[in-house]
Amino acid sequence: VKNAVIASYAKSRMPFVRPVDDVKLADKYVKAMNVITPSVDQKVMFLSGGNQQKVVLAKWFATVGDIFIFDEPTRGIDVGAKEEIYKIMTGLLKEGKCIIMISSDMPELIAMSDRIMVMRDGEMVAEVNRKEEICEENILNYSIGGGV
């Protein structure tokens, strides 16, 4: 798990790595993201799918970015882990961060988005926002070429 902090090295001005700092940062993210693991030395491959996903997110949060791209962030994880991922995403938005979410889960898109860009054949064909009703019917109509 502690290797998840490697992405933070890019922002470091130090020419060397301090393992004690890695452990502290990994421990911080394990607690903040509620990762269930016996230790920060645990190999990620032995964690549950939801905890693996949280470790991946923690890796990128350590880079202190302002824009995050979530590609199928909850695919293959249990309902409890999904709720935790949604809370993390909501927290990022409250901090003023930008999230671009790519998802094939229509209810997830509708619940988590204030604007949806609909693509067909590799091109953007529509933008649906809260002013227009974000609903499955509108999104599907745009995606198959029918319009609203």
Q: Is the pLDDT of residue 14 over 90?
A: no
| Stated pTM of the model | 0.69
Q: Where are the domains of the chain?
A: 2-103, 114-148
Q: CA-CA distance, 111 to 96, in Å (whole number)?
A: 19
For residue range 118-145, list pLDDT tens digits in order: 988 889 999 988 766 788 888 888 888 8
Q: CA-CA distance, 40 to 128, in Å (whole number)?
A: 42
For residue range 38-91, list pLDDT tens digits in order: 888 888 889 888 888 888 877 777 666 789 999 998 888 888 888 888 988 898
**What pLDDT does residue 56 have?**
80
Residue 1's CB: how many other CB atoms inside 10 A? 26
Per 3-state DSSP, the chain is made up of helix, strand and coil in percentages (nearest 5) of: 50, 15, 35
- Confidence at 1, pLDDT banded by 50, 70, 90: low
- CATH number attached to the domain at 2-103: 3.40.50.300
Q: CA-CA distance, 69 to 21, in Å (whole number)?
A: 27
**What pLDDT does residue 124 have?**
92
DSSP character for 43? -
